[in-house]
Structure 1
Amino acid sequence: MNSNKLRGVIAAVAGAMLFNAMPAMADSTDDILNALIAKGVLTEEEGALLQKGRTGEKEAAAKKKESAISTSFKDGIVFESGDKKHKVSVNGRAQADYRSFSDDLTNNQTDTWDIRRAYLGVKGTFYDTYDFEVTYNGAGSTGSDLLYAYFNARWWEQAQFKIGQFKQPFSMEELGSSRFINFTERSLLTQLVPAVDRGAQIHGAPFKGTTYALGYFNGVGINRGTNVNDNNILADGKSVTGRATVNIAELMDQKDAVYHIGAAYSSTTDTDLTNAIDIRTEGRGTSTVKTNTFSTIGTANSGYDLKRTGLEGAVAYGPVKVQGEWLKAKFEADAPALLAGGTTGDKDITAWYAAVNWMITGENYADVYKGGMFGGRMKPKNNFDPKAGKWGTGAWEIGARYSKLDASDFKAADLVNAYGVNPAIPAAGTAAQNRFNEVDAWTIGLKWIPSPNVRFMANYVTTNMDCAAGVVCTEDKEKAVNLRAQLDF
């Protein structure tokens, strides 16, 4: 056999070996090919031909890998492309609550089991730039409610654009997910903040440790009355809401700490669909501050302006966190009286809370702080999962919170009986009783997180209510125990 035929045979054998080599051996295969050329077994032309085939095979394998879809569980059922640019996840949460009230103080409240939240949603990212989320709450007040539905463009981290139905940028406590709140319920203050609404906003992180958001919204909330499809011609006003935060610890490169300060402002006009103010206790029991309905819209009254100002701060170091917020809501009526049959003039409500929490098993609060809020998943240092042979303690947290709401601008004529007709109150004179305009509450909480997607919570809440001048307080306290079991993914 002549040398040319021999080289041809060797080239064919080498080619078969090269093309059938495992992808993980790519570098070694290239080395073998170069060695064969160097020893004269293959000519450079034959080697180039084999190398070209090998390069084509690599490119085909790379394209196949990029287009492949992988499935995994990463705090949700996740479908992800091989190049990591496209991702869709299915997420949900279920919160089962039990609430018990002190019968001798609020015997119009009954002990109850409740499905507090039952969310199921889909969210994802395309081209590592376009984000979306659609989430339904199966335990909504009117049945199944559309909770979130938005589209977000991340062309620049410093200036992102969001449009749809989502939370307005106001209040660190409200913006944090209900999956990760410190207590079973948020504070009294959050009942006054603008929450989920339909609109658009620009937001981002312009500098290290800073965030901002500015949005333009309908101003009447979600799934509410005739505004569900934005066809209410009376609600012609809109809401402008903005928030800015800075984490000084991040500016100082202190990774185990958070030194957060923030401020927010919201101006809303003609929100005539707000029928009345009705503040519920943190124990999710009775009403506290409850007003008459707002004055009827007419030729002499085009509604009112609602201006809200909020300040927030938090200090966290290692397993200890102190957090607080203050809010002022100012109601400026176009008519002489804000409320039907009520007193004249503008009305203010102020509210604030201060809370301290301690992860007694040593987990770090800085690990769950991102984007100007504590909204991440606390992961125990040692999971409690006996089925998998893990007998760790899980994560344990204790906490205390004091909340105060002052609506003393609302006088007796502006208010209604917060309890309604209570069987324990004589029928005569009930209209002049239990018209509260100040309330404060203490909450003590214990939380156990056996594994990252499961938590159990127990809260004791005591609420004190003060009546307006000239009104008799027959029952002015509520004591409640709230228990919760939660699973989320």
Structure 2
Amino acid sequence: MKNASIRGCFLLLTVIAISSRTAMAMDEETASSINDLKKQVQSLMEQVSKLQSQVSSTNQTAPKTPSATQNHPNSIPPASSGAVGDMNEAMRPLMEQPMQGTTETAPTTVQQGPGNLPMLDVSDKGLIFRSRDNRHTIRLGGLLQLDDREFVDSPTSQESKFLVRRARPYASGYFYDDWNYRFAPEFALSSPNAAAYSTTIADAIINYKPIEDIQVEVGKYKPPVALEQLADDAYLSFNERALSSNLSPARDIGVMIHGITFDEKLSWAAMVGAGARNNNLNTGLDYDTGPDGYFRLFAQPFKGEKDFPDFFEGLRLGVGGSISWSSQSSAGTAQLFQNYSTDGGNTFFTFPSNLNVQGEHWRISPQLYYTYGPFSAVGEFIAEKQGVNAAAVGAGGGFTNYETTAWNVTLNYILTGEDATLNGVVPKEEVDFKNGGWGAWEMAIRYDGLAIGDNMFRPTTQGGIGAASDSNASGVNGFSWGLNWYLNRIMRLGVTVEYNTFTGGGAPDSISENSELGFLTRLQLKY
């Protein structure tokens, strides 16, 4: 509009100038009018000069394109906004009190208007497409983990290997303010001890969030049970989860209501799922065993409390669990039960062939998570009881059950001083050998264990399940040490040294023949 006004002024000046030349031949009666016009021309020229100055000043001080975090309650900060820390802070209440652990919701901020947002943003957070009003986004990214497993004194040569642990592209985002979604296929291993690569769906989620207190989630995702199982696969301090992950499902398909309430001091979740075997992505199919009910409560009681010392605020306590009444299924044992594996991903217990589910099935998992600056600690216990039918396992078999318990304690310290969170480590500086940047360094230690009840190995003629006691271990105790180097927000290099001792078993060529000493390395790209 300003440029149009300027052009109009110049046109007027031209017309006036021509008119003034013509006026030279006019009589004296028009002389006075000509003088008045000259004065008006002079005034217009002064106004034009002022307008040009204003246009120049406006171009130099024009406001920058507002960032998404300033305009939308569910927006994703663009790379140029410098809002990395703000994003991490905003996501912290959800991710550090994890319920489903997989839905990537954007940070909550105050909506100020649509603004002039970029429609395409490429950053270390992925490739992000936005609508102009910022009510719809698509974030494209992926997780790639390349591992090497080397074992000392291994009973066979099959345990030491190079492998692609995870190859998982994803699409996530939101639409119409309150709806979030995520879709992520997996093209590598569906479990730590998988024998071959497979293609499956890791996440297929739609989440409706009218308010933080009550949300509804539908699809395939992590059930709200165990703390470590809910942590993002990209943010683990070790190559594999602890032994306790053998007793909790990695995914199930169903519907869940969940929320965060009491000033973000309590998160809660309740889910009904199809029923799933433990510690495996390739699950969630309905095998007519009956639905599973899941629940979880997780509290941070001292959050924001000024009457207590700061180190109390990082304490979080929770409990998760599940219950169901299983019916016999036509599915095979491999679809109903997941064999137990060590911290190094090797199978140390195999369920008997032809074992079926039947009867009561429950899990219970008290859990603790604590952070204070760069230090964090995790403590978790889980017990599982499963009713089964061993009629097809051996003579005299019938309805019975088994019980398994497991635990883990993990201590973690970020050597370069960044804050410890379940969101992983965000380096204060990226690796830059020319200018002295060394990224972030993290060290962790873990003690864990698993114990299988006696009824698992009791003969079927005595009311047991009849698992082989010579090749299967009845218990494991493990110790792990991990060191991770975060080169930047995208790349990480990790080393895990794990040592496991076994109770029971010991047959030649079985994993339990010797103690397990493994050296595991990982190169990770998360984009």
TM-score by length of 1: 0.75
Alpha-carbon shift at residue 67 of structure 1 (Å): 6.9
Inter-partner Cα distance in structure 2 for 1:19 and 1:160: 50
1:382 and 2:432 matched: no
Asked if 2 retains the 8 angstrom alpha-carbon contact of 1:137 and 1:146, the reply is yes
Q: Give, in whole Å, the separation in 2 of the partners of 1:264 and 1:64.
A: 40
Residues 211 and 112 (structure 1 numbering): CA distance in 2 closer, same or farther, change over 3 Å?
same
Change (3 A) 1:164 1:23: farther
Within the candidate set 439, 450, 455, 2:487 is matched to 450
Residue aligning to 1:69: 119
Secondary structure of residue in 1 paired with 2:314? strand
Distance 1:281 1:469 in 2: 15
Aligned-partner Cα distance in 2 for 1:378–1:220: 31
How many Å separate the matches in 1 of 2:368 and 2:486?
A: 25
Aligned equivalent of 1:51: none
| Match in the other structure for 2:148 | 98
| 8 Å contact from structure 1 (residues 122, 135) kept in 2 | yes
Alpha-carbon distance in structure 1 between the residues aligned to 2:411 and 2:378: 6
Distance across 1 between alignment mates of 2:113 and 2:216: 31
Q: How does 1:71-470 map to 2 (within 5 A)?
A: 71-103=121-153, 105-107=154-156, 109-141=158-190, 143-208=198-263, 209-220=265-276, 228=285, 235-252=288-305, 258-270=314-326, 272=329, 273=331, 274-285=335-346, 287-293=347-353, 295=355, 303-333=358-388, 335=389, 345-365=400-420, 368=421, 374=422, 376-386=423-433, 389-409=434-454, 410-413=456-459, 414-417=465-468, 433-467=470-504
SS in 2 for 1:190: helix
1:106–1:477 Cα contact (<8 Å) kept: no
What is residue 480 of structure 1 aligned with on the other side? 518
- Structure 1 pair 71–336 and aligned structure 2 pair: CA distance change class (3 A): closer
Deviation per residue, 1:281-338 (Å, 9 max, x gap): 11112x22222135457xxxxx2332011110022211221211000101134x5869
Structure-2 separation of matches of 1:138 and 1:380: 29
Structure 1 distance, partners of 2:160, 2:289, is: 42
Q: Which runs of 5+ in 1 are unaligned?
A: 28-61, 298-302, 369-373, 418-431
Which digits, 9 at most, give the CA deviation of each residue in 1:109-154, with x for residues without a partner? 4420000001101101123321111111121455222211111111
Gaps of 5+ in 2: 1-32, 64-111, 191-196, 460-464
Deviations 1:131-187 (A, max 9, x none): 111111121455222211111111111111111111111111111111111111001
Partner of 1:36: none
Higher strand share: 1
Distance in structure 1 (CA, Å) of the matches to 2:149 and 2:350 = 22
Q: Aligned with 1:282: secondary structure? A: coil
Cα displacement (A) at 1:247: 1.4
1:20 Cα deviation (Å)?
6.4
Match of 1:155, SS state, is coil
1:218 Cα deviation after fit: 0.7
| 1:57-93 alpha-carbon deviations (Å, 9 max, x no partner) | xxxxx99954751423142112234554332211101
Q: Are residues 359 and 415 of structure 1, via their aligned partners in 2, closer, same or farther at CA, if it must alter by over 3 Å?
A: farther
Offset at residue 434 of structure 1 (A): 2.4
- Identity value in percent: 22
Shift of 1:443: 0.9
**Structure possessing the higher radius of gyration over alpha carbons:** 2
SS at match of 1:384: coil
SS at match of 1:191: helix
Amino acid at match of 1:398: M
The 2-side partners of 1:86 and 1:467 are apart by 56
Is the Cα–Cα contact under 8 Å of residues 155 and 508 in structure 2 kept in the other structure? Answer: no
Letter in 1 for 2:343: E
1:398 is paired with a residue whose SS is strand
Contact 2:200 2:282 in 1 (8 A): no
Number of residue pairs the alignment of both structures matches: 418
SS at match of 2:125: coil
* Structure 2: distance between partners of 1:345 and 1:113: 40
* Cα distance in 1 between the residues matched to 2:447 and 2:281: 31
Conserved 8 A contact 1:189-1:327: yes
Deviations 1:398-451 (A, max 9, x none): 21111111112322533545xxxxxxxxxxxxxx62232111111111111121
- TM-score computed with the length of structure 2 as normaliser: 0.70
Alpha-carbon shift at residue 24 of structure 1 (Å): 7.4
In 1, Cα distance between the equivalents of 2:378 and 2:470? 35
Q: Distance in 1 between matches of 2:507 and 2:427?
A: 53
- Secondary structure of 1:139's counterpart equals coil
Structure 2 vs 1, CA of residues 415 and 395 (structure 1 numbering), >3 Å: closer, same or farther? Answer: farther
Deviation at 1:278, TM superposition (A): 1.2
1:466 Cα shift? 1.2
